Amino acid sequence: MSLLGPAESALCRTRRLGSSLANGDTLAALVAFKDGGVALINAILATPFAGRFTLYDSKGWVEVRDMSHPEQPTGWTLTTCAFDGTTTSVDYPAASSVQAILEAFADAAESRAPCPIPQAEMIATIAALEAVAMSSASGAIATVPPAI
């Protein structure tokens, strides 16, 4: 939500293709955003782990790739590619994002610092996730519920 703004709809498919997991092992979700952007979210649990986040834009792209499974993180590689094709990569050491957000939440709860994620973004994220779940269950495009 902090990159693309509020979502408006989601189309999601889940399948069990390579395991006996009750909820499936393969997910693909296409989330459309109100300002025109789209996000493709993919998760496959029946293959060796590969984790990455890539953002494409008219001036280039940026990707963060896990060096290992998040259960035993060893770090990330940040790669950027400019419109002219010039790429640069930088490796970063492992850090616990879960611990960082929990500590930030505790700081906000104790009034030591504002929460780094605005409440509106939290609500918008939950609304988009709800639309993904509704689409997965129905097989149809789901409208993101309006924010509270």
Query: Is 145 domain-assigned?
Result: no
Q: Which domain holds residue 93?
A: 7-140
Q: What is the pTM of this model?
A: 0.83
Maximum distance among all alpha carbons in the chain? 47
Each residue of 41-92: pLDDT tens digit?
A: 998 888 888 899 999 999 999 999 999 988 888 999 999 999 999 999 999 9
Is 146 domain-assigned?
Answer: no
Q: What's residue 102's pLDDT? A: 92
Number of domains the chain is built from = 1
Q: DSSP character for 34?
A: T
Give 8-24 pLDDT, tens digit per residue: 999 999 998 888 888 88
- Is residue 2 domain-resident? no
In a domain, 147, yes or no: no
Contact 77, 65 (CB under 8 A): yes
12 forms beta bridges with 29
| CA–CA dist 144, 127 (Å, integer) | 6
Asked if the model's pLDDT at residue 104 lies above 80, the reply is yes
CATH label of the domain that carries residue 16: 3.30.360.10
